[in-house]
Chain A
């Protein structure tokens, strides 16, 4: 074999449990929403909605991202994963921590169970960050994607620490500031620091790879990095020391401009793609981007009409159920089948006729997943804006169908048995 090091895929235990747990958490998320539709019609600070948001952010989004990142870090950093053991251990802490937090929020048990959950989540963020830092430290080639990954890991740690302090403050109040103001900072550090920057970094590597496209406008990613981080850092500093005021618009514009630079980079890669046919998985990504842009457009309404709770709820709906969920629903089937296929057929390729990765799941169901996802998202948004419980219930029923279709395909891939023709 050549002297060039082809990074070895990490063991399945560092990746697959995250996908399995994440897909179960998505089902739990849709179920919790279905059980508590009224929580989408009142102020966002209510026990059920706190549980739902943490199921979305930790159990679903962060869980799948950890699994995908452990697999993709070697691709992005061109180096083996630093510690697969640490990756596996972070699954135990993230799963148990998220479960404790969600359970405590649902029942509003403030105290040591919630604090323990928060601490376990911090431990996961630390292990993840160590893996990212140590894998990318030995990286021979400097890339912007690496920078996004490292920075997003730092934002995750910051977010989880702020979250733990909030959990402690609920049980043993010690903040001199308003709890809800700190909650806003915690939520946005997670959304614009962790999710946005991780998705920016990973997508700027994977989308051109999947489309067989390329962009020569790397400069746009540099602007995206600088603007997103400057906007977030200024928002947090100003928000903490001076309180969230009118200057928030400046920070929104900074983060928005950074995000537009990133979207323009992806569009350039799309324009210069070799593969002209866009598959359903990539269409999920397209819709998720629209949701992100719409959520930015909603921010002035959220800020200037704080008493109309539906704008804040719609903002959260578009971010969690539209943007994060959309990108994961599509990308799962761009990564998981290949990870599982590699484990089963890597050494058999060329020896016998082996199935293709896309044959490990039901492709037709992905089309249905996409249609149901769009219907569920539009109806849920309409229900939230109009505060119509009937529409919300129908939308949540469709979300359950999305979850059922998604988990069927994920389990089909995970439970695949090597097929060798006789």
Chain B
């Protein structure tokens, strides 16, 4: 059985994920969750949110816009918290990371 703090953590992650649906890749017109760009969201203490994420291609020309979008959305959703973005290309993004909805939006 999970503890209340674990439940709170799950709730917060759900809330963060829900908020990230608003961040759209400007080129693909699909949100970052359905694109599978977000690998992990971690709430550290009461003031830090760490996001482990990737981009569809290294040095994606829209990279800054996407990471800024993630930061801005989470800061608005969780006022007072500092959002830290950790970018990784390990594993690199691949088509398999698209959610079924993402595939549908891309017309796959």
Measured in the bound complex, the distance between the Cα atoms of B57 and A135 in whole Å is 19
Assess whether B10 is interfacial by the CB under 8 Å rule: no
Known: A2-B87, A338-B26, A341-B26. 9 other contacts (CB 8 A): A1-B84, A4-B88, A6-B64, A6-B87, A72-B61, A212-B56, A212-B95, A345-B65, A346-B64
Contacts of B86 in A (CB 8 A): 2
Evaluate whether A347 and B88 lie within 8 angstroms (CB atoms) in the complex, with A78-B58, A341-B26 already known.
no
Q: Which of B1-9, B41-49, B70-78 contacts A (4 or more CB under 8 A)?
A: B70-78
Beta-carbon nearest neighbor of A345 in chain B: B65
Q: Does A36 make an interface contact (CB < 8 A)?
A: no
B21-38 contact mask (Cβ, 8 Å, vs A): 1 or 0: 011101111000000000
Q: What are 28 A-B pairs at a CB distance below 8 A? A: A1-B84, A2-B85, A2-B88, A4-B58, A4-B88, A7-B59, A78-B59, A212-B28, A274-B95, A274-B103, A274-B106, A276-B108, A277-B107, A342-B64, A346-B65, A347-B68, A349-B26, A349-B65, A349-B66, A349-B68, A350-B68, A350-B69, A350-B70, A350-B72, A350-B76, A351-B76, A357-B26, A357-B27
- CB proximity of A302 to chain B, nearest CB, Å: 39
Chain B residues positioned under 8 Å from A357 (CB to CB): 26-27
Q: List the A side residues contacting B98 at CB < 8 Å.
A: 274
**CB-nearest residue of chain A relative to B62?**
A338
Chain A residues 171 to 221 lying within 8 A of chain B, measured CB to CB, are: 209, 212
Interface residues of A in 343-357 (CB under 8 A from B): 345-351, 356-357
Give the number of residue pairs across the A-B interface with Cβ within 8 Å: 89
Question: Which secondary structure dominates where chain A touches chain B?
Answer: loop
Nearest-CB residue, chain A, relative to B28:
A212
Flag whether A95 is at the interface (Cβ < 8 A).
no
User: A346 vs B26: C-alpha distance in the bound complex, in angstroms?
Assistant: 10
Interfacial residues of chain A within 275-321, with CB under 8 A of chain B in the complex:
275-277
With a cutoff of 8 Å between Cβ atoms, the chain B residues found around residue A277 in the complex are 107
- Report B62 CB to chain A, min CB distance, Å: 7
Q: Is A101 an interface residue (CB 8 A)?
A: no
Task: Contact check, B107 vs A338: say whether CB atoms are below 8 A apart.
Answer: no
Distance in angstroms from B33 CB to nearest chain A CB is: 13
Q: Is A369 an interface residue (CB 8 A)?
A: no
Asked if residues B61 and A71 are in contact (CB atoms below 8 Å), the reply is: yes
Contacts of B28 in A (CB 8 A): 212
For A4, A71, A276, the residue with the greatest tally of chain B CB atoms inside 10 Å of its CB is A4
Contact of A1 among B23, B76, B85 (CB under 8 A): B85
A329 lies within 8 A of chain B by Cβ: no
Distance between A241 CB and nearest chain B CB, rounded to angstroms: 43
Ranked 10 nearest A-B pairs via Cβ: A350-B72, A2-B87, A350-B69, A349-B69, A350-B73, A346-B65, A6-B63, A351-B72, A78-B59, A4-B87
Across the interface, which residues of A come within 8 angstroms of B56, CB to CB? 212
Are A75 and B68 within 8 A (Cβ)? no
Min CB–CB distance A149 → chain B (angstroms): 14
Distance in angstroms between the alpha carbons of A1 and B106 in the assembled complex: 29
**Does A74 reach chain B (CB closer than 8 Å)?**
yes
Does A64 make an interface contact (CB < 8 A)?
Answer: no
Chain B residues positioned under 8 Å from A7 (CB to CB): 59
Of all chain B residues, the one with the shortest Cβ separation from A4 is B87
Chain B's closest residue to A72 (CB) is: B61
